[in-house]
Amino acid sequence: MKFLDPNKPIATCISETCDYCTVCKTLHCHFTLRDLIFFLLIVSPSFLLGGAGIYHISGWSIIPWLILIIGYFGFVEIRVMCSHCPHYADKGSSLKCWANYGSPKIWKYRPGPMTFWEKAIFFVGFALVWGYPLFFLISDFQLFLLIVYILTVAGFFMTLRTFLCSQCINFACPLNTVKNEVRRDFFERNPEVAKAWTIDIKH
Ligand code: SF4
Ligand code: SF4
């Protein structure tokens, strides 16, 4: 699997080298297979349990869910959220990061904040993807599976926010929790991104 060269600054960064950069102590400008595996490990329990709940009623009903998941994480979320991410500006026709690895980059890069409607679509997509299995779990009274499913979804989002969203270079994402001083350090090295946020960085 391919990832960006960890020794080379990302496309939006004006630094010559990542050596001695304090930003990388907090932010993830580069991604590794370990990051991807960590993400897959935290997200997969909710998908496996949700899929089991749907399958218990009808195996065919998994197909619309899979189409929803692929359509959302492969195209819609990429347009409304990832197209604002500095990583999106990097070379290549697909994403090489910890989440959405391999999703095609068919949209143009849009540095700067997400619009109200982009945020709305982003959250509606999440609600549909993780809400679809709920319909089957509730209507079939699969109470034990329902409780465990809800716990895995909650556990996923809590882990995501704590360990990934706190280090993510996409400040446009509504889930991003990077502190302002760290954002400022990143903006200093990525002036085009700063400009899109209408932040004037003086050198
Ligand atoms: S801000 Fe630039 S120099 Fe610093 S780690 Fe990220 S890509 Fe490398
Ligand atoms: S927002 Fe996250 S998933 Fe999307 S391109 Fe950036 S790092 Fe990857």
The answer to the question of residue 21 being in a domain is no
Among 96, 122, 160, 168, residue to substitute to test ligand 2 (most atoms within 8 Å of Cβ)? 168
93 within domain boundaries: yes
Question: Would you write out the chain's pLDDT as a tens digit for each of its 203 residues?
Answer: 789 888 899 999 999 999 989 998 899 999 999 999 999 999 999 999 999 999 999 999 999 999 999 999 999 999 999 999 999 999 999 999 999 999 999 999 999 999 999 999 999 999 999 999 999 999 999 999 999 999 999 999 999 999 999 999 999 999 999 999 999 999 999 999 999 998 655 54
99-127: buried (b, 16+ CB within 10 Å) or exposed (e) per residue?
Answer: bbbebebeeebbbbbbeeebbebbeebee
Q: Is 179 domain-assigned?
A: yes
Indicate whether residue 129 lines ligand 2 (CB < 6 A): no
Q: Is residue 18 part of a domain?
A: no
Write down the pTM of the prediction.
0.93
**Pocket probe mutation, ligand 1, options 8, 13, 85, max atoms within 8 Å of Cβ:** 13
User: How many domains would you assign to the chain?
Assistant: 1
In a domain, 187, yes or no: yes
Task: Flag whether 163 is in a domain.
Answer: yes
Asked whether residue 203 is assigned to any structural domain, the reply reads no
Ligand 1 pocket by C-beta < 6 Å: which residues? Answer: 9-10, 13, 15, 18, 21, 23-24, 29, 186, 189
Q: Which protein residue has the closest C-alpha to ligand 1 atom 3?
A: 18
Which range marks the domain in which residue 185 is found?
28-196
- Residues 140/56, Cβ–Cβ less than 8 Å: yes
In a domain, 7, yes or no: no
